[in-house]
Chain A
Amino acid sequence: MGRMTFWGSATILRSAAFGLMTAAGLFLTQHGAEAAPKTAITVGMAIEPAGLDPTIAAPVAIGQVTWQNIFEGLTTIDKAGKVQPQLAESWQISEDGLTYTFKLRQGVKFHNGEAFDSSVAKFSIDRARGADSVNPQKRYFASIDTIETPDASTLVLKLKQPAGSLLYWLGWPSSVMVEPKSAADNKTTPIGTGPFKFSGWAKGSKVDLAKNPDYWNQAVSVKLDTAAFRFISDAQAQAAALKAGDVDAFPEFGAPELIKSFEGDKRLATVIGNTELKVVAGMNNTRKPFGDKKVRQALMMAVDRATVVEGAWSGFGTPIGSHYTPNDRGYKDLTGVYSYDPEKAKALLAEAGYPNGFTFTMKAPQMAYAQRTSQVLQAMFAEIGVTMNIETTEFPAKWVADVFKAGDYDMTIVAHAEPMDIDIYARDPYYFNYKNPAFNDVLKKVEATSDPAEQEALYGEAQTILANDAPALYLFVMPKLGVWDARVKGLWENEPIPSNVLTDVHWEE
């Protein structure tokens, strides 16, 4: 018995000692913080990137760590979603839209000391469009015919056909400039021209960045000396890490239902912005009964988008009527085209030959938003006599194999993350199996012009076609649930492209 008490108290003593030590540590760091503004930040992310080279793999987490921090492009995309010059200072587009002449910035050096010039730019683009390229957006370079480098600071792209979105595409993470000698190792040790250098990757835990003292852009003053991206997948653990101060910011917090728990905490700021993540219930347009436009329209009218947002994402999120977000240029609010009207939906269904409804299967990925949205939709479809069975599928692996590639599904739900991807409805094959030559023509016209106003009008047309045809049910845009220390300034509120740009981030004094 004596031994037992001894053991018991030893355990208690040990925990007490640990507790005291940690408490002392916290006390010390808090005191230190008052003396001078902090120059380090820990940013939380849900998903660890698969490698650190955005030019060879698709996961958005790669760009969220590296884009604009480590790597930069010829052009960039600002926080309003607009194209801005970056490593290309300026450019000229020929009358016919087939020749792009870029004037490149001089005196730019990569983190390994190598200079950036037109040969490097040519190398980067050739690497992305070559025969053995594994660039996830290789299609963006398909219009390029030849690349010329008349001198070190001039790059000329000759196109096969006009590509009105080229400058925008060149701003993407998958189009960043890489240096020939280091490119092959960028997956593990990325070398770019950005304001931060890669300094370490504790796999499974965090990626460390350090300020690049030789950053070319003297116009910006980078306040952070170091930055760490920490990967925490579990939403509860994310919340705990924020509350405990283990991470300073979670730009994309994972669980809307936990947002309320931050309300009382004065130390933390909650900033709700928007993203490019379009939650869309895609239908297999070649399968009965979804081949019938009336059926799709009826299903769209059976959906009360506000309730979906409430049920799936605690009321955070913006309803959409087409495959386009309020961030995107030329956005039109088309939620009124087929707004919630179950009676009309029933009538339309009867007109299409389904007075008693029908039964189909929803293949819903395991993510919370997809599961909850499916359940809300299930109840809404039941109102108009349509029975929806829910089958859970594993995203990405099984979903990509079964739904995306094999097209073996009736309906599915997924958040489309890529900005300005309305052209997916013109792709063949694509999992919606939507084929509309009129729509394809509109998108071809977008590329044929480089006049922004004309492009915006055409994007409006494309949105309207989709809203009317309803090849998929357009539900809502995911919010950007930003939670961070109230003293952290300079993080983007919205996300016109998946990113965590740290250039302007600083601690308020």
Chain B
Amino acid sequence: MLTLFLLLPVAGALIAIALPAAREGEAKVIALAFTGLNFALAVVMYVVFDRGVEGYQFVERFEWIHGAGFTVQYVVGVDGLSAPLIVLLGLLSMVSVLVSWKIDVKPKHYFAWLLILESAVAGVFLSLDLIQFFLFWELELLPMFFLISQWGSGRRVYSAMKFLIYTLAGSALMLVGFLVIGFGAKTFDIEALTKTPPQETIVPLAIVFWAIMLAFLVKLPVFPLHTWLPDAHTDAPTAVSVMLAGVLLKMGGYGILRIVLPLMPNEAHDFSKVLATIAGFSVVWGAVITLRQTDLKRLVAYSSVSHMGYVLLGVSALGPVGLSGAALQMFTHGCITGLLFVMVGMIYDRTHTREIAKLRGLMHHMPLIGTVFIVAGLASLGLPAMSGFVAELTVFLGSIEAHPAATMAAVFGVVLSAGYILWTVERILHGPKTHDFHDLTDAKQWWEITAMAVLVVAIIGTGIWPAVLTDTVRLGIEPIAKIVEAAS
């Protein structure tokens, strides 16, 4: 089932590419069909997922490279940590196709890359082998690079390049770390490594810890490794921003929870203060800079830096509640920021500008877009009854004892987020009617309505009924928390 999830988008991409030039406009239909099917598959998986047992489910495996003393295998599986992320991936991939409905430059290549991207990210979330994880991690760069550099805007080549090199630099270190661990323990199997974490390695584990951690911190991203993110977002097409903020950043947090903590719990304890400090600082730094942004996309991008700081804060607390908070925050940030980027894209499509100073009074002309923008904004500032609140609160509850100062900084970030969100709403949506925008239309197309609706439902649904997430997340966090707590 999981292999099917992994391969369906590839199949879709192949079909799209095979379309004759005259019918390349149909690529979007194929993309929607395949991402829709994949989303349905993810939901089925999530429903069938057995919440009575810990450990991986739907595991599929075969040996791939059988070397002397080690094996590289293909093995996929989900647990409570990855299952919500798979649903999120399915959801946002479908949304990405919907918001790309009007792409007419080389559409079959565009949608093919988008589908490949879904497969690559799915591979990261599903892989239970370090080498396989690494391969998918690298594979994701390819579609991202082409999507940004070919279908982007502004300094797209610069931004795509920056994204590529930054991630590559991080993943080079990660691969080194993986190899050290793998050869030391004679296996790359994550499940096996989790059961018996490596004790003796040829390089001190502290160095391995940071080698791997750095790659994940770049991806997350946190201060001071974040500057690739605003550039990549600003110049990427809407759908790519949605995928980037919605699921790609989660690869960083996921990697920390799945690989770093269970494999190197002692080092995690040694450096937890450092991580918490980075996290608290990142939250405030990101939020303060967000306040100063003049471009809507950069604004949302910097708010992501701030919000992903919560993930790291939850991780650094090293307790079950904090770790759960981190996992929840990943899911919720994916939905919320995904929706914010969708809304910014819709505004840009109509007004052809993302400059806040040029936008005003949009609520009069596009009440639906305005309303959904406000909903997304309120969710982003952590309003209760929406998914962000429970996630942030869980992080704070988990981290207050271990890192009181960083937690206070992070809670202050909540105040700042109210500032930048509501100030933005005031500037672009409120105010008198202006003549500049009188001929603009509200969101009326079915693909726009669907893209907004599914995300709003996800945000409010999980906000009002968090158990739909928490019961699953708890299963995934429990074994990790046990390992980490045993090491303290």
Partners in one complex: no
- Chain A interface (Cβ < 8 Å from any Cβ of B): none
- Chain B interface (Cβ < 8 Å from any Cβ of A): none
